[in-house]
Amino acid sequence: MIGGPFGRFSHEKGTPRQIWIAGGIGVTPFLSWLRALDQHPLRGRVDFFYTSASADPPYAQEIRAIAERNSLVHVHFVNSSSDGRLTAERILATAEGNPGTLSVFLCGPAGLVRSFQTTFRHAGVAGRHIYCEHFDLR
């Protein structure tokens, strides 16, 4: 059975200060959001972390071009093969700001999403401001 999308995963629900995290194929909803910024503009800064096992992940050129046109989007590509695993601590240090004012949007494999959910809650991000989608290849 195939279902969705249902519109529950939307950056418009979050606080003005946001962190977006994509793991591999989990870039899909974020790419849609980036492509639709003219119709659905951001209300504040977004730090977008895209982690993959490649130095040149899919859609990297398009994502960079969109970020160059939108000063509120700050893109961080993480090559897990050479840079190691992306961690919540690394994200919070890079993105700066009070965790209590952040909204975090996660999309990727279930293990990645669960790990980040727990760590961000412990760091002070309100559970109601952590939004998740799961993308697992089975």
What is the CATH class of 13-70+86-134? alpha beta
pLDDT of residue 94 exceeding 50: yes
Domain ranges of the chain: 13-70+86-134
The predicted pLDDT at position 8 comes to 67
- What angle (nearest 5°) sits at the alpha carbon of residue 4, between those of residues 47 and 14? 30
The predicted pLDDT at position 1 comes to 40
What residues contact residue 76 under an 8 Å CB cut-off, 6+ apart? 47, 48, 49, 50, 94
Which residues lie across from 133 on neighbouring strands?
107
Compute the distance between CA of residue 27 and CA of residue 22 in angstroms, rounded to an integer: 5
Whether pTM > 0.85 for this model: the answer is: yes
**pLDDT band for position 127 (cuts 50, 70, 90):** very high
* pLDDT above 90 coverage of the chain, percent: 78
Question: Mind listing the pLDDT tens digit for each residue in 50-84?
Answer: 999 988 899 999 999 999 999 999 999 999 999 99
**pLDDT band for position 136 (cuts 50, 70, 90):** low
- How far lies 38's CA from each of 7, 24, 42, 69, 124, in Å? 18, 25, 9, 11, 31
The predicted pLDDT at position 10 comes to 86
